[in-house]
Amino acid sequence: MIIDFHGHVGSFDSIGARQDADRILRAMDMAQVDLACVFNIGHGDASKANQLTAEFVAQHPDRFIGFLFVTPHYPEEMEAEMIRGADELGLKGIKIYPPYFNRSVEDAIWDPIFSFAHQRKLPVISHTDGTDPIVNPNNGEPQMFVPWAKKYPGANIVLAHAGNFRTGRQSCVRAARSCPNIYIEICTSWRHFRSIEDLVEGAGEDRVLYGSDLPLIDPRIHTGRVLTANISDDAKRKILGDNAARLLHLS
């Protein structure tokens, strides 16, 4: 089974990514992806975002798994919305995006989210980026997730884009090696040589997850990164689905 751990509900029109479930499903079929995790991060109103995610998933419940989202700009709404998202809407993980919200990962504002994920044993996926945190303090430098992972060991923290660049990948590997509940998701528009091999060698094949960033990026490109990598078939199976199934409590 192939599980895509990173997909968006909603449109990004200015970069050519309009929400189109049929087009997404066609690409998933061609990539032989069975399930995709999706979230909506575009709304200032998290309840609206989560509603849209749940409605999108409800149209194809056999193909999509919804993740919830909450905005740090309305901390007073966070807890109730997380409970509603998980219990009423059936959302199975949490997405955060520090650069969109101009908040550093180190900000205490995220505490209730990691705490909720810890209590409910949910994965939290966050945008990450390996650029210098002094220059870009809100970009999601991978090391910044380590204190959260140690404080909330029940929360499985997924570093999206594997830090995007080489330095970011190395930082993701260090983070994963220091915490058993940190995972690394691979999608990025940077498809460097040996990126998958380096993640597997550094963090281990149990800690790497396939993701595509659909509908921005075609899922065939990132399944292709895993399938063409010089790693064992067993490692490919784990990255493409088995690891995700474990985090989503599907196996």
Instruction: Write out the residues near Zn ion by the rule CB under 5 A.
Output: 213
Q: How far is the CB of 237 from Zn ion (least distance, A)?
A: 24
**21 near another protein, judged by CB under 8 A:** no
Span interacting with another protein, options 53-61, 123-131, 174-182, 213-221, rule CB under 8 A: 213-221
Q: How far is the CB of 213 from Zn ion (least distance, A)?
A: 4
CB nearer to Zn ion: pick between 81 and 213? 213
What Rg do the C-alpha atoms of the chain give, in angstroms? 16
Q: Exposed, middle or buried, 165 (CB in 10 Å: 0-12/13-18/19+)? A: middle
The one among 82, 89, 199, 214 contacting another protein by CB under 8 A: 214
Which of another protein, Zn ion, none binds 108 (CB below 5-8 Å, type-dependent)? none
Q: How far is the CB of 130 from another protein (least distance, A)?
A: 14
The one among 71, 138, 181, 223 contacting another protein by CB under 8 A: 223
CB nearer to Zn ion: pick between 235 and 244? 244
CB 27 within 8 A of CB 217: no
Residue whose structure tokens are 């509900």: 9
**194 near another protein, judged by CB under 8 A:** yes
Query: Binding string, 158-177, against another protein, x = CB under 8 A?
Result: --------------------
Span interacting with another protein, options 44-52, 53-61, 97-105, 220-228, rule CB under 8 A: 220-228
Span interacting with another protein, options 19-27, 71-79, 109-117, 119-127, rule CB under 8 A: 19-27
146 CA to centre of own chain: 16
Assign 3-class secondary structure to the chain: CCEEEEEECCCEHHHCECCCHHHHHHHHHHHCCCEEEEECCCCCCHHHHHHHHHHHHHHCCCCEEECEECCCCCHHHHHHHHHHHHHHCCCCCEEECHHHHCCCCCCHHHHHHHHHHHHHCCEEEEECCCCCCCCCCCCCCHHHHHHHHHHCCCCEEEEEHHHCCHHHHHHHHHHHHHCCCEEEECCCCCCCCCHHHHHHHHHCHHHEECCCCECCCCHHHHHHHHHCCCCCHHHHHHHHHHHHHHHCCCC
The one among 218, 237, 245, 250 contacting another protein by CB under 8 A: 218
Which of another protein, Zn ion, none binds 174 (CB below 5-8 Å, type-dependent)? none
**195 near another protein, judged by CB under 8 A:** yes
**31 near another protein, judged by CB under 8 A:** yes
The footprint of another protein (CB under 8 A) covers 14-17, 23-24, 26-27, 30-31, 189-195, 214-225, 227-228
